Structure 1
Amino acid sequence: MTVRKIEVLSPRLANQIAAGEVVERPASVVKELVENCLDAGATRIDIDIEQGGTKLIRVRDNGRGIGKDDLPLALARHATSKVYSLDELEALTSLGFRGEALASVASVSRLTLTSKPADQDTAWQVNAQGRDMAVDLTPAAHIDGTTVEVRDLFFNTPARRKFLRTEKTEFNHLEEVVKRQALSRFDVGFSLTHNGRTIHAHRPATTMAEQQRRIAQLLSPDFMSNALVIETERAGLKMTGWVGLPTFSRSTADMQYFFVNGRVVRDKVIAHAVKQAYRDVLYHGRQPCFVLYLELDNTGVDVNVHPTKHEVRFRDQRLVHDFLFSQLHRALAEYRPDANTPVAEQISRPQVPQATGIEAGEFAGQQALHMQPAASSYASAPREPLPVAEQVAFYEQVIQPSTATAQASAPLPETQSSDVPPLGFAVAQLHGIYILSQSEQGLIVVDMHAAHERITYERMKQQYDNQSIQAQPLLVPLTLSLSEKEADAAESFSSLLQGFGFEVDRTGPESLTIRQVPVFLHQSNASALVQSVLADFIEHETSDAILAHRNEILSTMACHGSVRANRSLTIPEMNALLRDMERTERSGQCNHGRPTWTQLTMKELDKLFLRGR
């Protein structure tokens, strides 16, 4: 085998190799060119595309422009005006900085660059044709700003062109790039045309309403009507934006946008923090939706870790992760049903400890839903709706917390009438499954099992975190027959079982005696409950793994302890459940991410019956 000598690559071959890193497809070209426009201070960017970007990509801006003497150098490799020193690189404020984009694009296309700074009388134009990179400078007619035309992409590299997909696919990738840039800079106007047809046209958005309108146009109006506003700052980190409610989720991660100092990024630390924040409320396999903006000191993030600048590296990853997780988790947890305020206008409220006990409307015994004597006169109440005055009186006397307890409970969302709580008053039970409630806005339908499951789950988590899941001895110990593997697990993890509120003794190779269960679950099927918990223990195998998955185990327990379908409830019991929902974190979803309630407004009901027409 012949040993080959080391030689310096020719400039055109070096550019070809660099193009392979930077120019993957037409969308890559648009990304680089639009970032240059933004770095130039443009407030208007127009993008014209033909044949998915393979025939023509034209990007115009009204930015600062490039002077005549700098135009030829703009197409040279490693030439840039954005960074001159290592110090500037470590505190970078521009989107582009490598000085390779235009040179790489020019090496695989026919590129024309026309520009005019405001202080220059005439515009000048420079052309480059593929590999030879020879440029000629000529005067041109152009307003203040810059236009870059990229024609016949990959005309001189047919092998690269074969890897391109259909025109529609390539344009979809390109449109996604434009959407990201339009979301990153609300203060800039964007337009996108394809084969002469206008696809996007966005004016600068300065007010909150205009920004929400742009997001609705780029993503979906449904997203904005199912999103919480985020605005929080701590330890030098600031996060703003919108996060979708768990009930508004997607099968794919196609509605997730995260920006760090104005740069759209994909980062494992960010992805994990967001996933953890939604872990307890999102249905299995579903993806959350969000548009979030993180701001921090430029020295705290390294953007020079990937050729396409899609990834970043944080200097203090733990700080960033904990900040994102805690703030998103809190925002999702503190959201309460509010019939009067559009979701997108609700701002996270400060977290306040929740009240416990029957005074706060908690079910005594959970499963049985027995009420205190003060409510006994209502126990056999007929199923027709109570008069509003009686419901208000009942709420004040039995369901509403005492003065001392109310001060420690989470504040209820405001309503137009102080007499009517957000989820209204129960009027009936449907098929033993749903609670029908009359609110100020219309009709609310509640899945009673899903709602009770969340309430039970949250209280058990709170008790577990305080190392005090309240347990209750069984009046008559229960003997349970099960497999030897399950009995072994019960014996091996007996201390963990006690931590979850159970006391069991092994009385044979395939038998256990259950002596104690959690108070919340004392009326559930103890045998089935213990077997379900043991099944989770066996699945996770080790004590550390069990503790790591304690929320899943508590969720299993809560499901067993929640009121079942076809369970007949009295009007006071239904109202007690509604009040507990208003106090419980994440009460809008059950433990599996399914919604617990929905609402039909009077306007929607009138529309169903053609009223007012």
Structure 2
Amino acid sequence: MNAESPNIGAPQRPVIRQLSEDAANRIAAGEVVERPASAVKELVENALDAGAQRVDVTYADGGKTLIRVADDGCGMTAADLPLALSRHATSKIDGSDLLNIHSFGFRGEALPSLGAVGRLVISSRAEGFEGAQIAVTGGAIAAVRPAALNRGTVVELRDLFHATPARLKFLRTDRAEAQAIADVMRRLAMAAPYVSFTLRDVSGGEAREIFRTDAEQGELFGALAGRLARVLGRDFADNALPIDAEREGLHLTGFAALPTYSRGAAIEQFLFVNTRPVRDKLLIGALRAAYMDVLSRDRHPAAVLYLACAPELVDVNVHPAKAEVRFRDPALARGLIVSALRHALAGAGHRASTTVAGETLGAMRPEGPRVYQMDRPSGGAIRSAYAWQAPIFAEAPAPFAAAPEPAPEAVNYPLGAARAQLHENWIVAQTADGMVIVDQHAAHERLVYERLKRQMAESGVAAQALLIPEIVELSPADAAR
């Protein structure tokens, strides 16, 4: 009762104030630009909306000190540059219909938000016009001046969040922010297979190419398969099933991996709605439901799915980051994904992924003795053997009689000896008193684990230089580790 009640006494009337343009931009930047990867996403999406066929991204120190995005799109004129830095100014829509959206961006908040929290320089040139450049620092816009460049746009952002230093404390390490930028680039590269992408890291003054994909050619499914092989690795492309289904205005395409190609985390689940990368709980739940009968709860499927529909059937104006969507008929979208994936998985039967099938079957097959050059028989011995095998009536004299070798004793392995393989996923083995059916995917994991554990306990994992190098294809993320 000693504390003073806020309702006792004459209340002070709050005063309503109009926020300045700079303060409004910094508030909007908190939703649009959460980290350097968010800035890269907004700038690359602008490049794709401009019709770019090549997008080059350069960053330093995880994007905290430098982000540069260059494209060969349509570009902007000198008169367009000041307007591009105004809030809610965009060339994507005219404002009459917010449901008929065919572009990545449409809110007109990205460039003003970036200029409010960093040092932004935009250089652009449209076909038939002179190049121009404009700079903005902490919301203060400088005058437009001439610039020399080819058709397209170069956006350079330095010292991100220098105007809001408190935001820097919430950023992660440079390595973590760089990985987030690479993940954004991979998603956008999968969304636009006919566009070339390059990602470089210039931290410390040394340029290092992190990610590169050239533009694909041919029909859509072939282009998607080629792009996914470059981004996710050849193993995914070899073990993925094509998906193509349509229902009541929704068209689902993409690739879904076999159940035996599952992952321990949901790191290879990429969903796109009208080519827009999204992280929608409805779509992710539908993906897991489709694999419910063929995957355990601690495993996650790998899939890249593209859902296309009329813009009026989906609302993308849910969040400023445009990562969430709302369907007019959510049950229709979920049912299409579940039925299409289950139909594709049923058509594949019990087929196992190529990463485990051959190695598991080879591990159960007894390895014969290796024959080296010094152990091979001489030419005279080979001719003598041919003479003994020739179909003659007279018995050839035996120059010597070799003592018969004793028959090796049968070894009873715990899983027996492999006799057959069923549906490229099950191995039928024969034991001394029965039969064993082995899941080759689980057996391969256990064999590799036990072998490495035994080697580590005895003398460490053995390593030997190869006479002929073995070529191993890795995704850019795995190669960077």
**Structure 1 residue 321 displacement after superposition:** 0.8
Equivalence for 2:38: 28
Structure 1, unaligned runs of 5 or more? 344-428, 450-563, 578-587, 598-609
CA distance in 2 between partners of 1:257 and 1:126 (Å): 36
Of the three residues 109, 112, 121, the one matched with 1:112 is 121
SS in 1 for 2:215: coil
**Structure 1 residue 594 displacement after superposition:** 5.6
1:568 aligns with 2:449: no
CA distance in 2 between partners of 1:330 and 1:210 (Å): 23
1:78 aligns with 2:69: no
**Structure 1 residue 447 displacement after superposition:** 4.4
Of the three residues 24, 28, 37, the one matched with 1:14 is 24
Structure 2 contact 261–302 (Cα < 8 Å) conserved: yes
Of the three residues 440, 443, 446, the one matched with 2:426 is 446
Structure 2 contact 426–439 (Cα < 8 Å) conserved: no
Equivalence for 1:524: none
Equivalence for 1:157: 164
Equivalence for 2:210: 199
Equivalence for 2:403: none
CA distance in 1 between partners of 2:235 and 2:308 (Å): 27
**Structure 1 residue 330 displacement after superposition:** 1.1
SS in 1 for 2:227: helix
1:100 aligns with 2:109: yes
Structure 1 contact 227–244 (Cα < 8 Å) conserved: yes
1:183-198 matches, within 5 Å, as: 183-195=190-202, 196-198=207-209
1:321 aligns with 2:334: yes
SS in 2 for 1:32: helix
SS in 1 for 2:132: strand
Q: Which whole-Å deviations, capped at 9, do the CAs of 1:286-343 have from their partners, x for residues lacking one?
A: 111111111111110000001100000000111111111111111112213579x989
1:90 aligns with 2:99: yes
1:182 aligns with 2:182: no
Letter in 2 for 1:129: T
**Structure 1 residue 157 displacement after superposition:** 1.3
Equivalence for 1:130: 138
1:272 aligns with 2:252: no
1:233 aligns with 2:246: yes
1:216 aligns with 2:229: yes
CA distance in 2 between partners of 1:445 and 1:5 (Å): 72
Of the three residues 37, 45, 59, the one matched with 2:55 is 45
Q: Which moved more, 1:3-12 or 1:430-439?
A: 430-439
SS in 2 for 1:107: helix
Structure 2 contact 244–340 (Cα < 8 Å) conserved: no
**Structure 1 residue 220 displacement after superposition:** 2.6
Q: Which whole-Å deviations, capped at 9, do the CAs of 1:122-166 have from their partners, x for residues lacking one?
A: 1011110113x2231001001001110001111121111111111
SS in 2 for 1:232: strand
Identical positions, percent:
44
CA distance in 1 between partners of 2:169 and 2:245 (Å): 47
**Structure 1 residue 180 displacement after superposition:** 0.5
Of the three residues 409, 420, 441, the one matched with 1:437 is 420
Q: Which moved more, 1:280-289 or 1:101-110?
A: 280-289
1:283 aligns with 2:263: no
Q: Which whole-Å deviations, capped at 9, do the CAs of 1:262-301 have from their partners, x for residues lacking one?
A: 0001112211111110001012311111111111111100
Structure 2 CA distance for partners of 1:337 and 1:285, relative to 1, 3 Å: closer
Letter in 2 for 1:437: A
**Structure 1 residue 62 displacement after superposition:** 0.6
CA distance in 1 between partners of 2:64 and 2:241 (Å): 40
Equivalence for 1:386: none
Query: Could you tell me the TM-score, scaled by structure 2's length?
Result: 0.72
Equivalence for 2:175: 168
Of the three residues 296, 311, 314, the one matched with 1:301 is 314
Q: Which whole-Å deviations, capped at 9, do the CAs of 1:18-53 have from their partners, x for residues lacking one?
A: 000111111000000001001111111000111111
CA distance in 2 between partners of 1:305 and 1:260 (Å): 14
Structure 1 contact 111–150 (Cα < 8 Å) conserved: yes
Q: Which whole-Å deviations, capped at 9, do the CAs of 1:182-208 have from their partners, x for residues lacking one?
A: 010001000000011111121111235
CA distance in 2 between partners of 1:595 and 1:234 (Å): 40
Equivalence for 1:242: 255
Letter in 1 for 2:186: K
Q: Which whole-Å deviations, capped at 9, do the CAs of 1:72-110 have from their partners, x for residues lacking one?
A: 0100111111111232x2110010000110000000111
CA distance in 1 between partners of 2:17 and 2:308 (Å): 44
1:68 aligns with 2:51: no
Structure 1 contact 432–567 (Cα < 8 Å) conserved: no
Q: Which whole-Å deviations, capped at 9, do the CAs of 1:483-503 have from their partners, x for residues lacking one?
A: xxxxxxxxxxxxxxxxxxxxx
Q: Which whole-Å deviations, capped at 9, do the CAs of 1:584-609 have from their partners, x for residues lacking one?
A: xxxx989xx96899xxxxxxxxxxxx
SS in 2 for 1:437: strand
CA distance in 2 between partners of 1:445 and 1:180 (Å): 32
SS in 2 for 1:247: helix
**Structure 1 residue 215 displacement after superposition:** 1.7
1:177-576 matches, within 5 Å, as: 177-195=184-202, 196-207=207-218, 208=221, 211-336=224-349, 431=414, 435-437=418-420, 446-447=426-427, 568-569=434-435
SS in 2 for 1:325: helix
Equivalence for 1:423: none
CA distance in 2 between partners of 1:302 and 1:236 (Å): 15
**Structure 1 residue 54 displacement after superposition:** 1.0
**Structure 1 residue 233 displacement after superposition:** 2.1
Equivalence for 2:451: none
SS in 2 for 1:12: helix
CA distance in 1 between partners of 2:277 and 2:266 (Å): 15
Letter in 2 for 1:97: F
Structure 2 CA distance for partners of 1:342 and 1:432, relative to 1, 3 Å: closer
Letter in 2 for 1:162: K
Query: Could you tell me the TM-score, scaled by structure 1's length?
Result: 0.57
CA distance in 2 between partners of 1:298 and 1:39 (Å): 16
Greater helix percent: which structure? 1
SS in 1 for 2:104: coil
Structure 1 contact 232–327 (Cα < 8 Å) conserved: yes
SS in 1 for 2:259: coil
Structure 2 contact 75–125 (Cα < 8 Å) conserved: yes
**Structure 1 residue 568 displacement after superposition:** 2.3
Structure 1 contact 225–342 (Cα < 8 Å) conserved: yes
Equivalence for 1:558: none
Equivalence for 1:142: 149
CA distance in 2 between partners of 1:326 and 1:158 (Å): 49
**Structure 1 residue 238 displacement after superposition:** 1.2
Structure 2 CA distance for partners of 1:73 and 1:430, relative to 1, 3 Å: same
What is the aligned-residue RMSD (CA, Å)?
3.0
Letter in 2 for 1:67: T
